[in-house]
Amino acid sequence: MAAPRKPFDPPTPEQVAFLERAIEEHGKATYNFALRLTHNEADARDLTQEAFIRVYRAWRSFQPGTSFVSWIYRIVTNLYRDELRRRKGRYQEEIPEDNAPQQYGGERPLAVEPIEELVEAQLGETMSKALDALSPDQRQVIVLADIEEYSYQEIAEIVGCSIGTVRSRLHRARQQLRKLVEHFSAAK
């Protein structure tokens, strides 16, 4: 890894080109990721801006051959976590709950399937409310696993936790999401 740029060193053309290309190729994805994470446009704009500033400053620490998107998602995730902590502890790590697996089938009735019944117009609003009602941790893992389609290993690297934590967090998040979708669908 090359040495980081010293303070007061003028920006090199490579550094500027690196940021230009990063914004052009991944700016939209990064902004949408920040939007899904925060569920707030103002926060998503600030988060995206700050993430690209970090990319610019730390451009030499990016290792060619690795995924740039994973790298910037990790930056966004860390910035978001720091920001939530700064806002007087609104961000709280999930306390592991009862992880007893739920058995499907047999005598147990299947859950209602509200998602199937949702028409596209309703889907946006219901899903938006349901995602908004999740904890930041749960929203983050669902976005990474189901929307961005990262593996548990990749999510663990982005979020900075173990694969086991990703797995249990995703299980709880999806069950919680289903309940919330049912709730908001019934409220219509």
Partner 1 sequence: MNQQHVTTEQLIDYLHGELAPGDDAEILQHLEHCGACALAYDEQARVSEALRAYARMSERELPQGVVNRIWDRIDREERSPSWGARIAAFWRPAIAVPVAALLVIGIFFGYSATHRTPITTIDASYYLQDHAAITGTVPFSEGIIVPSGMGSNAPATTTADATSPKLSGSLVADAR
Residues that bind partner 1 (CB under 8 A): 6-8, 10-11, 19, 23, 27-28, 30-32, 35-36, 45, 48-49, 52-53, 56, 101-106, 110-111, 113, 115-116, 118, 120, 123-124, 127-128, 131, 142, 145-147, 151-152, 167, 170-171, 174-175, 177-178, 181
CB burial of 5-26 (b: ≥16 within 10 Å; e: otherwise) equals beeeeeeeeebeebbeebbeeb
- Choose between 65 and 102: whose C-beta lies nearer to partner 1: 102
Tell me, what amino acid is at 186?
Answer: A
As a dihedral over the C-alpha atoms of residue 65, residue 165, residue 180, residue 43, rounded to 10 degrees, the angle is: -50
Residue among 41, 20, 37 at smallest CA distance from 78:
37
Nearer to partner 1, 90 or 164 (CB): 164
Residue with tokens 């939530």: 84
CB of residue 19 vs partner 1: minimum separation in angstroms?
Answer: 8
Is the CB of 89 or the CB of 99 nearer to partner 1? Answer: 99
Q: Least distance to partner 1 from the beta carbon of 89, Å? A: 26
Q: Give whichever of 50 and 74 is closer to partner 1, judged by the CB atom.
A: 50
Would you give the distance in Å from CA 164 to the centre of its chain?
17
